[in-house]
Amino acid sequence: RIFLVLMQRLLKFLHPMVRTTFPKKVLVMLSKRLVLWNYLSN
């Protein structure tokens, strides 16, 4: 749960940068993987 909060803060911080640099597909893939990993680790 703490991990999730940290990730959300990190994403909020990175968001403007990420928006301009990363393609959306990569972002979606990464976020899905993170969610899955978080779910499995919990």
Task: Provide the pLDDT for residue 21.
Answer: 64
User: How many domains does the structure of the chain reveal?
Assistant: 1
Question: Could you read off the pLDDT of 1-42 as tens digits, one per residue?
Answer: 778 888 788 778 777 766 666 677 877 888 888 888 878 876
**Strand ranges (E), the chain:** none
Token pair of 28 as six digits = 């979606």
What pTM did the predictor assign? 0.40
- Containing structural domain, residue 20: 2-41
The amino acid sitting at 22 is F
